[in-house]
Amino acid sequence: MRRTAFTLPLALLGAGVFLLVLAPLLAGHVLPHAKRTPVDTDTTTIFTGTGSYFDTSALKTVDDRRLTITRQVRGDVADSLRSGNAVWDVSTSVDADHTLPATDVRDSLQWTLERWVTDRATNEPVHCCEETPVFDGEAYLKFPFDVEERSYRWWDGTLGAAVRLGYAGRTRVQGYEGLRFTGSVEPTRTGVRQVPGRLVGRPRTPQVLAEEWYANSGIELVVDQATGRIVFAAIGPRKTLRAPGAKKDAVVLLDSDRLAFTAATQRHQVALASADSRRLALLGTTVPLAGAILGVLLTAGGTVLLVRAGRRRRVAEAAPDQLT
């Protein structure tokens, strides 16, 4: 009977202490493991807009056409688990209406296949696992977790270098708040391409190594602060050819003032960011805080009941002595 009186207070005290120990463990150990780039990602983002492109069948640039950029990102789970990094294969195609739907991405106006490897915790590039191209910067397909209100170095695959994106305040995408970053790329030579001389104003030369130039009039990214997921993106790419040593563009390969995430892509990205953010908040704030509060209450309640039970026991033990 006397032992039963202490059972409930001890149980409450034990549960309270357990929760007080568990709360900081969740925040300090479980949360950092949850803040890791997923390896089993399989997402598609679509940009649309109008612009110009070089029609290879007509051998001329056509203007005011609808353009679509489709980017598919798939995680290589086997290589990711083997290396401990996030290994993603990225297919990007640029299409006009007549190449959609593309039965083969190689039929698109432009197509690239890349392999990105990043540290799952820091989002820093890792040079392994047949990475291509070798890249640099702090952000590309996503930003690091816990995005800060500062400038970031964003990798531009077409430029082949990192671009500084400045913090431009908070904004909402489909009702969801994110951090906005903006930047641009001045016309820059990015390589050479062998083309018929007449394409770049050299009709007497059968083939020339034309210079490839690239610019971007406006890069805009809106990023979920907790996860680093990009919920909105817009770009203004311009790719041209110049005759060797020329100062002016001779051929426009691709040009658009603005290609942006479709509304459907925005909603999909927001849904993913919102779900991941809630999960991180649950592990990092809600559960530890609730556990700590409940732990304090249970510990306090158990202690009070334990003290009272002790007093009752002393009173009961003293009663026979008083009778004698």
How high is the pLDDT of residue 113?
93
The 10s digit of each residue's pLDDT in 224-262 is 999 999 999 999 999 999 999 999 999 999 999 999 999
What average pLDDT does the segment 63-85 reach?
95
The 10s digit of each residue's pLDDT in 123-134 is 999 999 999 999
How high is the pLDDT of residue 3?
53
**Does the pLDDT at position 1 exceed 50?**
no
Task: Tell me the average pLDDT of the chain.
Answer: 85
- What b/e string do you get for 162-198 counting C-beta neighbours within 10 Å, with b at 16 or more? bbebeeeeeeebeebebbbbebebeeeebeeeebebe
The 10s digit of each residue's pLDDT in 163-184 is 999 999 999 999 999 999 999 9
Mapped onto helix, strand or coil, the DSSP state of residue 258 is coil
> Parallel, antiparallel, or unpaired for β 207-223 and 251-255?
unpaired
Closest by CA to 19, choosing from 302, 307, 311, 289, is: 289
Burial class (CB in 10 A: 0-12, 13-18, 19+), 142: buried
What's the pTM value of the predicted model, to 2 decimals? 0.80
Return the minimum-mean-pLDDT range out of 1-10, 93-102, 201-210, 279-288. 1-10
What average pLDDT does the segment 253-281 reach?
94
How high is the pLDDT of residue 323?
46
How high is the pLDDT of residue 322?
53
Burial class (CB in 10 A: 0-12, 13-18, 19+), 261: buried
Looking up tokens 């001389």 gives: 197
Distance CA 315, CA 324 (A): 15
- What b/e string do you get for 233-260 counting C-beta neighbours within 10 Å, with b at 16 or more? bbbbbbbbbbbeeeeebbbbbbbbebbb
Q: Report residue 17 CA to chain centroid gap.
A: 38
